[in-house]
Amino acid sequence: MTDYALRTGLRTDNLYIFRDSAGLNAFDRTIGKLPEIGFYYRGCCLMKVRSEDDCHKTIEMIIDSLSRDRSYALDSLDRFADLVSRICHPDGSPVNLEDTARADFNVVLYWATYLGKINKRNTLVWEEKLYEKGKVLGINVFKVNCDYQEAWDSD
């Protein structure tokens, strides 16, 4: 996964995986297709800023419009802390929720190696835009890989 990310031009300092296949399966039931992106406001809840039909250009406009001075509708059933409990670093170490507390936004990019060129067209573009926007806002970017992990077989 890390080698693939490097070859594709994706950053490797923000890679995460689901802790187990149950976490991935639960996520698979809630999304339409990959890549996917979720915007969480101040470590709280998912922001209601997009619809299922949004194309990658609409996502780019949403990224451009992020502002700490704006109020957002939130989905109180989709909490950032719940997501963090289902993911970990590629080496299996846990994500420290306190490390994300000071950010204005936590943005989660869901991707997979099998997406091929779509990762360059969408995931990479979104990631670059988020880091550019992060120069003026506090933005944490979590890139959660949605490939099945061989390590899960040993659990």
pLDDT digits (tens, 9 = 90+) for 118-148: 988 899 999 999 999 999 999 999 999 999 9
d(CA 125, CA 131): 10
154 within domain boundaries? no
Whether the model pTM is above 0.85: yes
Domain that holds residue 31: 2-148
Q: Are 142 and 107 in contact (CB under 8 A)?
A: yes
Pull the structure tokens for residue 82: 């719940």
Sign of the alpha-carbon dihedral angle for 50, 1, 91, 140 = negative
**Is 136 part of a structural domain of the chain?**
yes
Q: Is residue 87 part of a domain?
A: yes
Within a domain: 155: no
89, 139, 152 from 18: Cα distances, Å:
9, 21, 10
Environment class of residue 86 by beta-carbon count within 10 Å: exposed (0-12), middle (13-18) or buried (19+)? Answer: middle
The answer to the question of residue 153 being in a domain is no
Would residue 104 count as lying in a domain?
yes
Count: domains in the chain: 1
pLDDT digits (tens, 9 = 90+) for 67-79: 999 999 999 999 9
pLDDT at 56: 74
* The pLDDT of residue 155 is above 60: no
